[in-house]
Structure 1
Amino acid sequence: MKVDFGGAEEILFEQVGCAGIVTLNRPSSLNAVNHGMVRALARALCAWETDDAVQIVIIRGEGRAFSAGGDILDVYKAGLAGEAKPDFFADEYRLNAAIARFPKPYVALIDGIVMGGGVGVSFHGSHRVMTENAIFAMPEVGIGFFPDVGGSFLLSHLPGEFGMYLALTGNRIRRGDACATGLATHAVDAAELPALTQALCEGGDVDATLAAFAGTAEREMDDGALHAIASHFSFGTLAEVLQSLGEDQDEWVQKTAATIARRSPTSLHVAFRQVRAGAMLTMDECMHMEFRILNRMLTGHDFYEGIRAVLVEKGSTPHWKPDTLDGVKDEDIDAYFAPLPGKELAL
């Protein structure tokens, strides 16, 4: 039975058996999440939370991606016109927090790319199923932004400094590493997703159903790389992390250091601080912190420059300001985390 919570044809809702099924339906845009989709999903969760007929929520993507991120080109255009508005992000962050608090099983079936805003509508749920096609990343530092949508909470709780590695590099990982770090809860082959969905809709114990379909996924990253991550990314300051990486002549480490060197210096400083802070905060507190950062990002330079270079003029080189890590002052970073009098995020 189809249900209409808005969002036009870009996000579809139906009730099948005991399940509420959400389908992100913008395959030509790799299911990038826009404002209308965010608001529609929020309405659906609000209704289904108290609907006894819906015992489980399943979210999936149409086509070859789960969701490649948030649709931020409208935000980019508004900012260039001097009309930067945080409304989309405010609703998105409220949704991320609502998913984390959702009292019923929330199962994300991740088949294909999942990044940025797509992570926000999937990885805060109770169950994260990844197929052999799944690719996870939080690449925001490469566009002059920061790992938002709850990245502060999600990445800060990964073992072995793996979250800090993901935040500062923006590198992609596959399901073996995602399962090993706890990002994913289950590995299920793509061919099994229709049968798994049907079984979940029929009711019963969700964990037992998922276990019946799940297999093992070997870790892609070798022990040497994992040891390097745990060692180099464990320091208390960004400068110490980068110094440690620079002193190690291992080929993988040097490649990692070169990747970080291409990222926005301001974004790196912000991401480092937010991930360290996130380990001591609740999910709701992380969303308050991220909304403060977001508001300052929307009035800065690097976010718009990164979008221009990566998404508008694809493949061009961004020109960061400041363009060196030393050029970023402590007081500048402090300002990103400062309170927003009268404009704090309401959850």
Structure 2
Amino acid sequence: MLKIRIISQSAVFILKRNMCTQEADVLFETLNNAGIITLNRPKALNSLNTSMVSKLLPQLQEWEKSKTLVVVKGAGEKAFCAGGDVKTACKPDEGPKFFFTEYNVNYLIGKYKIPYVAIMNGITMGGGLGLSVHGRYRIATEKTMIAMPETKIGLFPDVGGSYFLPRLQVNLGMYLGLTGDRLKGKDVVKSGIATHFVSSKRLYELEKLLSRCTSDVEVQSLLNKFNEPPEEFSLAPNIKHINYCFAASTVEEIIERLEKVKNEWSNKTIENLLQMCPGSLKITLRALQRGAQLELPHCLQMEYRLSCRATRNHDFPEGVRALLVDKDNKPQWTHKSISEVDDEYVEGFFKRLPADEELQFFDSKL
């Protein structure tokens, strides 16, 4: 009996020690009236995995009923959230599970009843935009850098990208979604993706004051006090070209219009587009065109079909391999050129899944 008891105490000690040393990938804390979420994988630039989104969903649901507001931020100085963990998401057995829960989180944020404040300090890409852009308040800082770079890895701008990108002015969303171009600092506010700009050195003070707010009116008033006025948009010299070129109905026509512009920006944009996955470009354009006419839940359901099929397709795993695993930067895409991607291939991604595989939302009556 003595021996068994000693082993048992030792096991308890080891378990307690592991619990202390292995910090959670998402931290939840209450500060005055606010629920504070910290994405806590700084070494991985706070990229999202299934574990994280599975914890976010029930906590957000609970806090919606019990808190005055929610603040979400990233651990460390480099990133809010650099996106989803695509090395796992590109696998046909793991990807659909991850996307299912992640899109439910995006859906909840989009209809959240209490103020949701995302502090987009640092790199904010892909899934990081899904955790911020659907919320009521999005704070950019001088360290903020946003992008939707999915066409480069054989995917498409998901997490509601088909909803928010086509709603940006002057076809800016079409441009960002297809090219994966980056915006920084105050440009993120000018684009409409962030609602406020606050210097990073003031974030600690802002968070403390936000936590004491008791209403949406107080939250808005406080953010307006901290907000710094915007500067000229860095893309301003080419906005008319973006508006014209990315209004085209096909990828081929977008490139034809860019060729007519004939300046440094247009040449660089063409070069950029030709480096992307051809199939992804055409799927992305169609998703953004359709998403412009759909509400967020329907966009997410459409995107889930695309995501599930992407995990079973060659291009998405191949893009992840070439850019993130082997890092040879030489993806062998299904199609060698944009012209090779036919309509039948693109439409195949948009077809409904079997009824039991379709995206269901947590509050669905079905």
- Quickly name the TM-score band, shorter chain normalised: over 0.9
* Equivalent position amino acid for 1:157 in 2: R
* Equivalent position amino acid for 1:173 in 2: L
- The residue aligned with 2:199 is 189
The answer to whether the 8 A contact 1:131-1:187 is kept is yes
Paired with 1:88 and 1:140, the residues of 2 have a C-alpha distance of 16
- The residue aligned with 1:12 is 27
Question: How do residues 233-248 of structure 1 correspond to structure 2 at under 5 angstroms?
Answer: 233-248=246-261
Paired with 1:176 and 1:320, the residues of 2 have a C-alpha distance of 36
* Equivalent position amino acid for 1:276 in 2: Q
- Secondary structure (helix, strand or coil) at the match of 1:208 reads helix
Alignment partner of 1:33 is 2:48: yes
Paired with 1:315 and 1:59, the residues of 2 have a C-alpha distance of 35
- The residue aligned with 1:210 is 223
- The residue aligned with 1:344 is 358
The structure 1 residue matched to 2:69, chosen from 49, 52, 56, is 56
- The residue aligned with 1:105 is 115
Percent identity between the two aligned chains:
39
Provide Cα deviations, 1:86-132, integer angstroms capped at 9, x if missing partner: 11111111110111011110000111000011111111100000000
**Which stretch shifts more, 138-147 or 171-180?**
171-180
- Residue 315 of structure 1 and its aligned partner are, at CA, apart by 4.7
Paired with 2:42 and 2:236, the residues of 1 have a C-alpha distance of 36
- The residue aligned with 1:43 is 58
Paired with 1:140 and 1:222, the residues of 2 have a C-alpha distance of 21
- Secondary structure (helix, strand or coil) at the match of 1:200 reads helix
Provide Cα deviations, 1:153-190, integer angstroms capped at 9, x if missing partner: 01010000000000110011113222112110000000
Paired with 2:200 and 2:55, the residues of 1 have a C-alpha distance of 27
The structure number with the bigger radius of gyration is: 2
The structure 1 residue matched to 2:264, chosen from 248, 251, 257, is 251
Paired with 1:260 and 1:315, the residues of 2 have a C-alpha distance of 19
Paired with 1:222 and 1:120, the residues of 2 have a C-alpha distance of 23
Provide Cα deviations, 1:195-228, integer angstroms capped at 9, x if missing partner: 0001101114100010111102313424321111
- The residue aligned with 1:282 is 295
Give the structure-2-normalised TM-score.
Answer: 0.89
Provide Cα deviations, 1:50-100, integer angstroms capped at 9, x if missing partner: 11xx10000000111101110121234x44xxx465111111111101110
Which consecutive aligned stretches of 4+ in structure 1 deviate over 4 angstroms post-superposition? none
The gaps in structure 1 that reach 5 residues or longer are: 1-6
- Residue 341 of structure 1 and its aligned partner are, at CA, apart by 2.2
- The residue aligned with 1:4 is none
The RMSD of aligned alpha carbons is 1.4
- The residue aligned with 2:241 is 228
The answer to whether the 8 A contact 1:174-1:220 is kept is no
The gaps in structure 2 that reach 5 residues or longer are: 1-21, 362-366
